[in-house]
C-alpha cells in the first residue's frame, strides 16, 4: 500500500522532538497562568506558588516508583494461575 510506505506523523524524525517541546511549553504555560489568577488557598500548604504542578509531578513520580517496586513482588507470568 502507498500509505504504508510513507512515514506517519508520529514516525517522522523530528516530530517526536516537537511534541516534547510542546509538552514542556504547555506545562510552563499552566504555571505562568498562575501569576494571573487570584487563588484562595484552602490549607497552609497550597499557598506555595505552583503547588498543583508540584503535586502532580511529585505524586505521579512517587506512584510510578511505588508501582515499580511492588511490581517486583506482585508481577507474575501470564500463566501463573494455570
Partner 1 sequence: MINIHPGWLLIAGALLLPLIGGKARNWFVIFLPAAALYIISQLQPGMSLQYHFFGYELTFLRVDRLSKIFGYIFTLNAFAAFIYAFYVKDSTQHMAALFYIGSALGSVFAGDLVSLYFHWEVMAIASTFLILSRRTKKAMGAGLRYILMHIFGGLCLLAGIVLYISKTGSIDFNAMTERTAATYLILVGILVNAAAPPLSAWLSDAYPEATVTGGVILSAYTTKTAVYTLIRGFPGWEILIVVGCIMTIYGIIYALLENDMRRILAYSIINQVGFMVTGVGIGTVMSLNGAAAHAFAHIIYKALLWMSAGSVLYMTGKSKCTELGGLYKTMPWTMIFGTIGALAISSFPGTSGFTTKTLIIESSVHQHLFWVWMVLEIASAGVFLHAGIKFPYFVFFAKDRGLRPGETNRSMLVAMAFMAFLCIFLGLFPGPLYDILPFEMEHYHAYSFAHVTTQLQLLMLSALVFFLFLPLLKRTDTIAIDTDWIYRRGGAFFYSVVDRVLNGFNEVVERLVVKGLVRSIVNFSQLAPALVLSALIYPYWVISGFDKKERAQRKEELYRDINTGAMSVGLISISVLLYLGILFIF
Interface characters, 53-82, with partner 1 (x: CB under 8 A): xxxxx-xxx-xxxxxx-xx-xxxxxx-xx-
Q: Is residue 6 at the binding interface for partner 1, with CB under 8 A as the rule?
A: no
For residues 60 and 43, what is the distance between their CA atoms, to the nearest angstrom?
21
d(CA 31, CA 53): 7
Q: 15-33 and 51-74 helices cross at what angle (nearest 10)?
A: 130
Among 21, 27, 47, 48, binds partner 1 (CB under 8 A): 27
Count of residues in contact with partner 1, rule CB under 8 A: 46
CA distances from 2 to 6, 9, 10, 15 (A): 7, 15, 17, 21
Asked if residue 22 binds partner 1 (CB under 8 A), the reply is no
- What residues line the site for partner 1 (CB under 8 A)? 8, 10-11, 20, 23-24, 26-27, 30-31, 33-34, 36-40, 42-43, 50-57, 59-61, 63-68, 70-71, 73-78, 80-81
Amino acid at each position: 500500500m502507498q500509505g504504508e510506505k510513507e512515514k506517519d506523523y508520529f514516525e517522522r524524525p523530528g516530530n517526536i522532538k516537537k511534541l516534547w517541546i510542546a509538552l514542556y511549553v504547555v506545562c510552563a504555560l499552566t504555571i505562568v497562568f498562575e501569576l494571573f489568577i487570584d487563588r484562595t488557598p484552602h490549607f497552609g500548604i497550597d499557598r506555595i506558588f505552583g503547588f498543583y504542578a508540584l503535586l502532580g509531578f511529585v505524586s505521579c513520580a512517587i506512584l510510578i516508583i511505588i508501582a515499580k517496586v511492588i511490581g517486583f513482588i506482585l508481577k507474575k507470568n501470564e500463566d501463573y494461575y494455570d
